């Protein structure tokens, strides 16, 4: 039994390594050429595997992209931002934590975020992932709104409205609009945080 178990573990390790190599090859090609221009044979060639192996290890091109985005969605900076929200001692600190957290994710995974939303209308699988990502962000903004209320901030409006304000200022569209206009990440974060604080009637 021991040799068979060992063999199974080796196969699992090999499959995981192949999947990782395929994903990294896909990512590098997507960045170099743009998502729509990349072909499955190119990905297979870059990963030094067959096209069939690419499909069996991850899936088609949209599945490859979604898998890359799912990895980004597990970035530890998201958990750190939520932890800062939970530990914040003032409503303003909550807003700053959400602002810095969404900035960190957007900055680290800028290409993935942009491509995901740009291709949402073209491929149903990607559109579904965009909806899931938006839902996750809404949930995180709702948690931040609840923390603001716990700290006696913004008590004169529904929690849903506070969450919507946070989503408006710290969603993908806001970061992208400022970055596309040539703003630095630092300037964008400072401005969005100050505007969100003002909109919520909190001390800047």
| CA 145, 100, 174, 125 torsion-angle sign | negative
Same domain for 34 and 99, yes or no, is no
For the segment 185-200, the average pLDDT, to the nearest whole number, is 97
* 52 is a domain residue: yes
Among candidate residues 14, 30, 59, the one where a domain is terminated: 59
**For residue 2, what pLDDT band results from cuts at 50, 70 and 90?**
low
Whether residue 110 is found in the same domain as residue 48: no
Is residue 64 situated within a structural domain? no
Range of the domain at 172: 72-199
Helix (H/G/I), strand (E/B), else coil: 184: coil
pLDDT digits (tens, 9 = 90+) for 134-189: 899 999 999 999 999 999 998 899 999 999 999 999 998 999 999 999 999 999 99
Could you tell me the pLDDT band of residue 3, with boundaries at 50, 70 and 90?
A: low
Is position 162 within any domain?
yes
Backbone torsion region of residue 182, taken as left when φ is above 0, otherwise alpha when ψ lies between -120 and 50, otherwise beta: left
Q: What's the pLDDT score for residue 5?
A: 57
Whole-model pTM over 0.85: no
The CATH number that applies at residue 26 is 1.10.10.60
Count up the domains in the chain and report the number: 2
| Residues 168, 105 share a domain | yes
DSSP assignment string, 87-126: H-SSHHHHHHHHHHHHHHHHHHTHHHHHHHHHTTTT-HHH
Residue 11 clears pLDDT 70, i.e. is over it: no
- Residue 143: inside a domain, yes or no? yes
Distance CA 141, CA 68 (A): 23
What pLDDT does 194 receive?
A: 97
| 49 and 143 assigned to the same domain | no
pLDDT at 187: 98
CB of 145 closer than 8 Å to CB of 84: no
């Amino acid at each position: 039994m021991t040799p068979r178990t060992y063999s199974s573990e080796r196969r699992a390790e090999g499959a995981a390594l192949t999947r990782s190599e395929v994903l990294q090859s896909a990512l590098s090609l997507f960045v170099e050429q743009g998502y729509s221009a990349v072909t499955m044979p190119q990905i297979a060639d870059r990963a030094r595997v067959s096209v069939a192996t690419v499909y069996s290890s991850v899936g088609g091109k949209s599945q490859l992209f979604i898998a890359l985005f799912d990895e980004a969605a597990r970035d530890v900076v998201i958990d750190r931002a939520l932890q800062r929200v939970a530990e914040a001692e003032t409503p303003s600190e909550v807003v700053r934590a959400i602002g810095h957290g969404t900035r960190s994710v957007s900055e680290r995974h800028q290409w993935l975020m942009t491509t995901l939303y740009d291709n949402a209308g073209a491929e149903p699988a990607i559109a579904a992932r965009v909806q899931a990502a938006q839902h996750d962000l809404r949930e995180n903004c709702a948690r931040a709104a609840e923390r603001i209320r716990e700290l006696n901030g913004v008590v004169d409006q529904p929690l849903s409205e506070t969450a919507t304000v946070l989503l408006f200022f710290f969603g993908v569209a806001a970061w992208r609009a400022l970055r596309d206009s040539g703003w630095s990440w630092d300037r964008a974060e400072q401005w969005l945080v100050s505007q969100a604080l003002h909109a919520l009637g909190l001390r800047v």
